Amino acid sequence: MANREALRDLQTRLATRLQAAKNEELAVSSWLAVQSGGQFYLLPLGHAGEIFPWSAPQMVPYTQPWFLGVANLRGSLFGVVDLAIFLGGNPVRTEQALTETSLLAFNAALEVNAALLVDRLAGLRGLDAFVTSEPPPDDAPAFLGNLYTDAHGTRWQELNLQQLSQYPTFLSISA
């Protein structure tokens, strides 16, 4: 129970900071940091929408394994995508583990009702949080941005949610 309260407190703080960051029009290189399937990702603040606690989606038959179904989030239907599985991971998802995850909706400006399942919210990051960066490989999908390394040696992959929302594989949920 304490974990749920701590998660809700974190989500509230992050939502407040996200709103403040949007109001201050921070630099382009400001991200929401998340963890999914043991990997670390940076999502541009301007692409990220509201953060929701786990809400079990209604399964949709004959869809890709990474498409978990549709969920009613604040009165609107959102397609729920397991980010780790979509990016090629194979995480173990138990009911207990799912209760500690979050759904991150795409910003309404991107005009796609989708939410990403992420394992952990890791706060906000700016360019100053990293010591090195390298461009994505030439054959990487368009939605993969630079790869950043922080002072602890953790590698963070930048994901462009606008590009992801237009990526043909992301849009083709049928199996």
CATH of the domain at 74: 2.40.50.180
Region 22-36: mean pLDDT is: 72
Structure tokens at 145: 């941005």
pTM here? 0.81
- The confidence band for 26, taking pLDDT boundaries of 50, 70 and 90, is very low
Higher pLDDT, 16 or 22: 16
Total structural domains within the chain: 1
DSSP string, 70-130: EEEETTEEEEEEEHHHHTT------HHHHHT-EEEEEPGGG---EEEEESEEEEEEEGGGE
Higher pLDDT, 107 or 16: 107
DSSP string, 47-81: TEEEEEE--PPBP-TTB-TTEEEEEEETTEEEEEE
Region 27-42: mean pLDDT is: 88
Report the mean per-residue pLDDT for the chain: 90
What is the Cα–Cα distance from 53 to 112, expressed in whole angstroms? Answer: 19
Q: Facing residues of 159 across strands?
A: 144
Structure tokens at 101: 């995850």
pLDDT value at position 127?
94
User: What percent of the chain stands above pLDDT 70?
Assistant: 90
- The confidence band for 33, taking pLDDT boundaries of 50, 70 and 90, is very high
Res 25 pLDDT > 50: no
Cα 154 off chain centre by = 17
Q: Which three-class secondary structure state does DSSP give residue 17?
A: helix
Res 60 pLDDT > 50: yes
Overall residue count recorded for the chain in this entry = 175
pLDDT digits (tens, 9 = 90+) for 65-105: 999 999 999 999 999 999 999 999 999 888 898 999 999 99
Check: CB of residue 141 under 8 Å from CB of residue 26.
no
pLDDT value at position 8?
75
What is the Cα–Cα distance from 31 to 127, expressed in whole angstroms? Answer: 9
Instruction: Give the structural domain span for 98.
Output: 2-171
Res 22 pLDDT > 90: no
